[in-house]
Amino acid sequence: MNKNFLKKIAVLALSATILPTAAWAGTYTATKYPIVLVHGLFGFDNIGPVEYFYGVPSALRADGAKVYTTQVAAANSTEVRGEQLLNQVKQILAVTGSGKINLIGHSHGGPTARYVASVRPDLVASVTSIGGVNRGSKVADFLMGIAPAGSLSNAVIVSITNGLATVINFLSGGKGLTQNSQAAVNSLSTAGSLKFNAAHPEGVPTSSCGEGAYQVNGVAYFSWSGAQPYTNVLDILDPALALTALAFGFEKNDGLVSSCSSHLGKVIRDDYAMNHLDEVNQTIGLVNIFETNPVTIFRQQANRLKNLGL
């Protein structure tokens, strides 16, 4: 009898410590609207077990979020990718019955998400841009300078990159997505970005390195980015980002995008000790061990959206 009584006390004590934690873990990222992830240039939803947003969807789902990963052209203009994304957003809304979605885009996925929010703000609750090319990239400018349209070098580069984009699209199961790397570079250049911003200005800062409007047409805008091109000696892609970072001179950047160019809406932070790939937990989790894990930052953003009723 005493043993049974002690067992009951032990179970109650264990429940008291476990249940509150489980309840918190189950709702921390439970946003009102589904989260839709949008990849960047030469990106994908997943290739086999490797996700573009490595480990992010499962971490968000584990804490209550409904998460969808999309696949648009690995390389094309912002507008073309934006229309492709819009079609998928409509499908997600039809499946979930939700009135809106929260878009989170990385790199070229930032402007791609912005396009959807600009043309159909009624379908979007928020846009979060991560390392987004919102005011162009000097790397794209450099490529256009050394290989101008119409030159032999440009023809060679475009042929190779279009082939790469097609292979990525095939391996990730994409169908019918036209690839155009020249259009992608044009969109990501400073001139192309400024032209895009003139047509779709929502959330874009009016000063060179300030914040943009926090909310436009009912859509909330956020951004964050890294500012350390080389972060992990085990990551074979870090040296390449250290090299491309030279295009920015002394300007703070993540290897492909300057911190100021990444600004959109409310700037959460623009100087994480991360490079452009670390921002999405790549390469396969080989990130800066001395910085907040990128998956944690995604979780924090989902919680922020949840607390705002989004």
Active site residues: 107, 254, 276
Q: What is the rounded CA–CA span in Å between residue 294 and residue 205?
A: 25
**125, 131, 136, 142 alpha-carbon torsion, rounded to 10°:** -160
Rg of the chain, C-alpha, whole Å: 21
The beta-strand segments (E) located in 55-121 are 67-69, 101-106
Q: What is the rounded CA–CA span in Å between residue 143 and residue 149?
A: 10
Question: In 3D, which of 109, 101, 115, 112 has the Cα closest to residue 131?
Answer: 109
Strands 215-216 and 219-226: antiparallel
The beta-strand segments (E) located in 235-301 are 266-272
Q: What is the rounded CA–CA span in Å between residue 65 and residue 211?
A: 28
**Cβ-contact 241, 276 below 8 angstroms:** yes
Residue 138: partners with Cβ closer than 8 Å, 6 or more residues away: 190, 247, 248, 251, 258
Q: For residue 276, what are its two tokens?
A: 């452009």
Residue 134: partners with Cβ closer than 8 Å, 6 or more residues away: 110, 111, 114, 193, 197, 204, 223, 261, 262, 263, 264
Q: For the chain, how long is the longest CA-to-CA vector?
A: 89
